[in-house]
């Protein structure tokens, strides 16, 4: 019996890992993950190395003359006179941009003339400097306050706080709640897609063998329970193999980036990244980033125990997959095609969908009643507990959730074995729920 089960596991495993879809997804996922980490930094560095531009300012309002600040990207010169004549001369003299600031308008208005390509970020930089210069003049003329003094007052009035979590033993640790919430949501969503993807493969595999009558040949040499166990375990090993390859390739790609560009993840680059609009990173004043070390930089994003996270992720992936794959296998055994299976899979899938719908709620209130109970119900706990875990849960909650999931898995295995044994050889009319429950009482 043992050898036959191993043969089925080997067949399911080897058949699936040799598929082109498996190879493509396995390679593509680590590349996308590495790109999410590296691309924002590369974009910042590209913006830092953009072409130097010469800007000629024609200030009709006479407010901004000699007030623009040169930097490593732009230099400003000033002219007055007819704008049409100035434009012709400016572009002949290798100026990249002519900035015309209009007078006698109700608000700050300007025209930016360019001939070839408008330098990236120039418009926003000019508008920002114009706002500061004009505000500085208003402060000086109306309130008789210099901008430097005003900025000092602003800095004094800024509130800055550090979130510190106290554990059960009274220990204190800086804790970035937002980062941990995002990380938890990502873990929950990944668990959801993995469970759906691989459990659906079990369903399709059972349906394919049944519709092609292959199962009749297999049943003649192996027991239905052996076939069920072999299929579920074989696909589970495919999932674990894919996860292991993802981890190895992701680390390898990041190491390759580190070797190829050792200065990519430096403190200066990360500080610039933190100031880039639309890029969300932790406060660089609160984290210690070792130069030239991408992994220390990534580690500084999180303050959770990665040992607990990794163990829990693997546990809930395996148990969650086994729960849903056994139920999906039972569903596939009682119908003849995939369209008919929707009637039976929908009640099973609804809890998983509810869990993913409530992910934002669980993330923002991980200690709430909804989050707690969803993390205890076995059909929703693989997602809900992984969303809660990075924000911190008590050990007894995690252990109780795992225990309930394991107990429910035992029930699912018993239920699936009973249904699969009879349903796999049943064709024609779909059995009712009453008929399925009668199968459970048969020996």
Interval 117-145: pLDDT, tens: 777 678 888 888 888 888 887 777 777 77
pLDDT value, residue 402: 94
pLDDT digits (tens, 9 = 90+) for 173-194: 555 667 677 778 888 888 888 8
What is the average pLDDT value for the chain, to the nearest integer?
Answer: 76
3-class SS string, the chain: CHHHHHHHHHHHHHHHHCCHHHHHHHHHHHHHHHHHHHHHHHHHHHHHCCCCEEEEEEECCCCCCCCCCCCCCEEEEEECCCHHHHHHHHHHCCCCEEEEECCCCCCCCEEEEECCCCCCCHHHHHHHHHHHHHHHHHHHHHHCCCHHHHHHHHHHCCCCCCCEEECCCCCEEECCHHHHHHHHHHHHHHHHHHHHHHHHHHHHHHHHHHHCCHHHHHHCCCCHHHHHHHHHHHHHHHHHHHHHHHHHHHHHHHHHHHHHCCCCCCHHHHHHHHCCCCCCCCCCCCCCCCCCCHHHHHHCCCCCCHHHHHHHHHHHHHHHHHHHHHHHHHHHHHCCCHHHHHHHHHHHHHHHHHHHHCHHHHHHCCCCHHHHHHHHCCCCHHHHHHHHHHHCCCHHHHHHHHHHHHHHHHHHHHHHHHHHHHHCCCCCCCCCHHHHHHHHHCC
Confidence at residue 187, expressed as pLDDT on a 0 to 100 scale:
83
Report the C-alpha dihedral over residues 418, 420, 424, 429, rounded to 10 degrees. Answer: 70
Segment 352-404, tens digit of pLDDT: 899 999 998 988 888 889 999 999 999 999 999 998 888 778 888 999 999 99
Say if residue 198's pLDDT is above 70.
Answer: yes
What does the pLDDT read at residue 417? 82
Q: Which of the two residues, 373 and 30, has the higher pLDDT score?
A: 373
Instruction: Kindly report, residue by residue over 81-98, the tens digit of the pLDDT.
Output: 888 888 888 888 888 889
Question: Residue 286's pLDDT is what?
Answer: 42
Among candidate residues 155, 117, 182, 120, the one with its CA nearest the CA of residue 366: 182
Is the pLDDT at 292 greater than 80? The verdict is no
Q: Given a cut of 50, is residue 277 above it in pLDDT?
A: no
Q: Say if residue 327's pLDDT is above 70.
A: yes
Nearest-angstrom CA–CA distance, 104 and 60: 9
Q: In the chain, pLDDT over 90 holds for what percent of residues?
A: 9
* 174, 286 contact by CB (below 8 A): yes
Task: Write out the two tokens for 27.
Answer: 């390679």
pLDDT tens digits, residue range 213-271?
Answer: 676 666 667 777 777 788 788 888 887 888 788 778 877 777 776 676 666 555 554 44
Q: Inter-axis angle of helices 338-357 and 306-334, to 10 degrees?
A: 150
Q: What is the pLDDT of residue 188?
A: 86
Q: Residue count of the chain, please give it.
A: 443
Q: How far, rounded to the nearest angstrom, does the alpha carbon of residue 312 sit from its chain's CA centroid?
A: 18
**Residues 94, 25 contacting (CB under 8 angstroms):** no
Chain centroid to Cα 375, Å, comes to 21
Angle subtended at Cα 391 by Cα 389 and Cα 394, rounded to the nearest 5 degrees: 60
Strand order in the sheet with 53-59: 74-79, 53-59, 97-101, 110-114
For 150-177, what is the mean pLDDT? 63
pLDDT at 405 over 90: yes
Please report which confidence band the pLDDT of residue 288 belongs to, taking 50, 70 and 90 as the band edges: very low
User: Is residue 301 over pLDDT 60?
Assistant: no
- What would the mean pLDDT of 184-213 be, rounded to a whole number? 81
148 vs 369, higher pLDDT: 369
């Amino acid at each position: 019996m043992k050898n036959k089960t191993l043969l089925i596991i080997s067949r399911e495993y080897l058949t699936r890992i040799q598929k082109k879809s498996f190879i493509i997804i396995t390679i593509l996922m680590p590349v996308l993950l590495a790109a999410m980490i590296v691309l924002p930094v590369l974009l910042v560095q590209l913006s830092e190395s953009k072409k130097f531009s010469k800007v000629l300012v024609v200030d009709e309002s006479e407010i901004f003359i000699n007030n623009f600040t040169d930097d490593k990207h732009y230099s400003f010169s000033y002219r007055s006179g007819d704008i049409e004549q100035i434009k012709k001369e400016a572009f002949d003299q290798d100026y990249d941009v002519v900035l015309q600031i209009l007078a006698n308008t109700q608000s700050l208005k300007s025209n930016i003339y360019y001939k070839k390509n408008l330098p990236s970020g120039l418009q926003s930089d000019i508008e920002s400097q114009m706002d500061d210069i004009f505000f500085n003049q208003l402060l000086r003329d109306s309130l008789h306050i210099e901008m430097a003094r005003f900025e000092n007052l602003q800095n004094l009035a800024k509130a800055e706080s550090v979130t510190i979590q106290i554990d059960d033993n009274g220990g204190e640790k800086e804790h970035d709640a937002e980062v941990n919430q995002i990380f938890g949501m990502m873990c929950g969503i990944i668990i959801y897609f993995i469970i759906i993807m691989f459990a659906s493969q079990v369903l399709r595999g059972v349906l394919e063998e049944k519709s092609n009558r292959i199962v009749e040949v297999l049943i003649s040499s192996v027991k239905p329970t052996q076939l069920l166990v072999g299929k579920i375990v074989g696909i589970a090993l495919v999932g674990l193999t894919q996860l292991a390859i993802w981890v190895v390739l992701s680390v390898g790609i990041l190491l390759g980036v580190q070797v190829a560009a050792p200065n990519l993840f430096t403190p200066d680059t990360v500080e610039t990244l933190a100031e880039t609009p639309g890029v969300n990173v932790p406060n660089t004043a609160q984290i210690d980033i070792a130069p030239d070390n991408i992994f220390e930089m990534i580690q500084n994003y999180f303050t959770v125990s990665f040992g607990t996270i990794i163990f829990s992720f693997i546990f809930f992936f395996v148990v969650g997959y086994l729960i849903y794959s056994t139920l999906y296998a039972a569903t596939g055994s009682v119908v003849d095609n995939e369209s008919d299976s929707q009637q039976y899979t929908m009640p099973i899938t609804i809890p998983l969908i509810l869990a993913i719908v409530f992910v934002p709620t669980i993330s923002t209130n991980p200690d709430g009643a909804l989050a707690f109970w969803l993390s205890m119900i076995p059909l929703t706990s693989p997602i809900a507990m992984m969303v809660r875990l990075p924000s911190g849960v008590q050990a007894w909650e995690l252990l109780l959730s795992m225990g309930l999931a394991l107990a429910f898995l035992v029930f699912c295995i018993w239920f699936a074995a009973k249904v699969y044994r009879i349903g796999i050889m049943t064709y024609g009319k779909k059995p009712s729920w009453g008929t399925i429950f009668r199968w459970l009482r048969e020996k």
